[in-house]
Structure 1
Amino acid sequence: MNPSTPERIVIATRESRLALWQAEHIRARLLQLYPACQVELLGMTTRGDRILDRPLAKVGGKGLFIKELETALLDGRADIAVHSMKDVPMAIEPGFVLACISDRDSPFDAFVSNRYESLADMPPGTVVGTSSLRRQSQICARHPYLAVTSLRGNLDTRLRKLDEGQYDAIVLAEAGLRRLGMDERVRAALTAEESLPAVGQGALGIECREDRPELLAWLAPLHDASVAARVTAERAVSRALAGSCELPLGAYAELDGERLWLRGFVALPDGSRIARAERSGRAGDAEAIGLALAEELRAQGAEEILAALD
């Protein structure tokens, strides 16, 4: 085999059905690039998967979904880890790097219900489940008469709780449903105006150790520059505002040729106060656009919202 091509790559992944789909998707793409390579999956259960009785914001945030995967990279059991970019903390742990940002499916949220066609159709007091303070704040702002409650668990668990009647509707990422062939469960895809997406939602990222330059080279063909520009701008907003699961924050970037348009918001969880802003500029300045938007959000009242959340 050509020494410049890999002989074996092990992918660390969570064991939920969606995470396994994502890992298999990257595996298939690697095999297209390197047909003689042995690409294996190392399935793992993370702390975030095990703690299901409390809201994510109360137990350590999204980093709980990747810590065990990073440990596997560190001790050599795996070479790379595949993540949903919305689950990747804004600050990568020292010694690790996002080798590439790859495919992005739908970035939008999906309304799922067995009884209602949309949030607007739901009568007062009916129950909407979501795992996200970002979604909660926007639903409460637009539909204050609905009861929004926490919903934890992987995608199949959330759908089962809906089907058991624990919720009248749930809101979750559309990309996950599409990727698992559950298009029929989507009653409505919520527009960015209805529910501004999470930072990086729908995009896949591949993480590896910083001291593995050969992996960076092998993974380079999977990098999508246009997706990366959008996600970079979105993540810059969150990083500048110290975004975490405890902060209802959304940011969504769109590309029109070389022009990048970025929208963002910060809110109180009950939706009673929201700061919104938008910025645009060259796609090559994605990071700077995100930082500028964060400053504009501060000028629109984000500082007071952040202070109220402390």
Structure 2
Amino acid sequence: MKDRLIIGSRGSRLAIAQSEIVKTLLLSHFPSLQIEIQKIQTSGDKLHTEKIYKFGGKGVFVKEIEEALLSNSIDLAVHSMKDVPTDIPPALEIASILKREDASDAFLSVTYERLEDMPKGSRIGSSSLRRHVQILERNPNVDVCDLRGNVDTRLKKLKAGEMDAMVMATCGLKRLNLEQEIRQSLNFVPAVGQGAIGIEIRKDDKKVKDKILRLNDEKTYNEVFLERIFLKKMNGGCLLPLGAKVFCSSQDFSFETFIGSLDTQVILKHKGKGKISEGEKTISDVCEKILNEGGREILRSIERGFKNI
């Protein structure tokens, strides 16, 4: 049995914290295991001042880590599942997904207690078109500005007065013990996979897989699997203004989905339920309904906008 593992991770404080969570869980099952965390800079990290959709979008936070996995430089990769494209290299697989952290979005501000309290012309930062649309749906008076950088960089910008508020994933703040920064928990429909940590490995590496499977949370795995079917059927990624959240019980699941135009003139929300065993068909049927109700045109208009940048 392999007694040494190398984890590939992005280099941000949050990414390392997530890799440390995986390391701790592995050591709880295999105390004699030697584990090293190797920092890997991704395309998304290198171009941290640019809007993500200017340089490709899908996979910008995982591509280089997957390349290291394929070249045997690392043994496993730790990802935020919301960053992982639905199409991954054929030789790789998401072998385990840890129990999900809070999947909600959080409102942070030095001045305001709630998003609804922000007056006309206030500036609120977000790196996500999904959040952008839901922010304006909740408060059409604010100006949403693009916000890039890691958690600490974003907090510094907020406290320096570069913006009046911002919206971030709750899970990242909790994993960095920064819950005290949260002013309001927002009931937005989250990004697919938000709050979930996934472990990617080589399909043929049975020794690593046997260890990693000990960390899998079946409920979270099923939920994220179904959410990613929605993402794939919608031909989407983490850049598009769409989201989904699935809630699984033993045999059944319920879900909510969201897609909206950037001007908030068209917002489509759906809720439903079904059997996990029939999940792919249930989700596929809902996607077809969403696309026919206006979702297809929303996606086309955004794609046209990206091409004109």
TM range (shorter): over 0.9
Q: Percent identity?
A: 40
Is 1:210 aligned to residue 185 of structure 2? no
Q: Which residue of 1 aligns with 2:253?
A: 260
SS in 2 for 1:272: coil
Q: Which residue in 1 is equivalent to 2:154?
A: 158
Corresponding residue of 1:79: 75
Q: Equivalents in 2 of 1:51, 1:255: separation in Å?
A: 37
CA distance in 1, matches of 2:210, 2:161: 49
Q: Give the structure 2 partner of residue 189 of structure 1.
A: 185
**Do the aligned partners of residues 47 and 21 (structure 1) sit closer, same or farther apart at CA in structure 2, a change above 3 Å counting?**
same
* Structure 2 CA distance for partners of 1:224 and 1:286, relative to 1, 3 Å: farther
Say whether the 8 Å CA contact 2:42–2:60 is kept in structure 1: yes
Q: Which amino acid aligns with 1:309?
A: I
- SS of residue paired to 1:81: strand
Question: Cα distance, 1:309 vs. partner?
Answer: 2.3
Task: Name whichever of 129-138 and 217-226 sits farther off.
Answer: 217-226
Q: Distance in 2 between matches of 1:158 and 1:255?
A: 33
TM-superposed CA distance for 1:257, in Å, is 4.5
SS in 1 for 2:283: helix
Structure 1 position 66 matched with structure 2 position 62: yes
Corresponding residue for residue 307 of structure 2: none
User: What is the letter of the counterpart of residue 233 of structure 1?
Assistant: L
Bigger mean CA deviation after superposition, 66-75 or 231-240 = 66-75
CA deviations 1:108-142 (Å, max 9, x no partner) are 00001111011101001100100000000111222
CA drift at 1:308: 2.2
CA distance in 1, matches of 2:225, 2:238: 18
Distance 1:27 1:160 in 2: 29
Q: Does 1:16 align with 2:20?
A: no
1:141 pairs with 2:137: yes
After superposition, the C-alpha distances for 1:230-270 in whole angstroms (9 at most, x for unaligned) are 11111111100100244211101123453211111211123
Name the stretch that deviates more: 16-25 or 258-267: 258-267
CA shift for structure 1 position 223: 1.1
Structure 2: distance between partners of 1:97 and 1:186 = 34
Match of 2:127 among 131, 134, 143: 131
Are positions 1:272 and 2:268 aligned together?
no
In the alignment of these two chains, the number of paired residues is 303
- Which residue among 31, 42, 50 is the counterpart of 2:38? 42
1:117 aligns with 2:113: yes
Contact 2:83–2:238 at 8 Å: present in 1 too? no
8 Å Cα contact 1:259-1:281 kept in structure 2: yes
Distance of 2:274 and 2:207 partners within structure 1: 34
Q: 1:288 to 1:102 in 2, by over 3 A?
A: farther
Superposition TM-score, scaled by structure 1 size: 0.94
**1:218-238 CA deviation, whole Å, 9 max, x = no partner?**
211111110011111111111
- The offset of 1:10, in angstroms, is 0.6
Matching residue of 1:105: 101
Segments of structure 2 that go 5 or more residues without pairing to the other structure are 304-309
Change (3 A) 1:102 1:284: farther
Check whether the contact 2:191–2:238 (CA below 8 A) recurs between aligned residues: no
1:196 offset after TM fit, Å?
0.7
Q: Distance in 2 between matches of 1:288 and 1:154?
A: 37
Query: In 1, distance between residues paired with 2:116 and 2:181?
Result: 18
| Worse-matched range after superposition: 289-298 or 95-104 | 289-298
Q: 1:274 corresponds to which letter in structure 2? A: I
- Residue 231 to residue 57, structure 1, CA distance change in 2 (3 Å): same
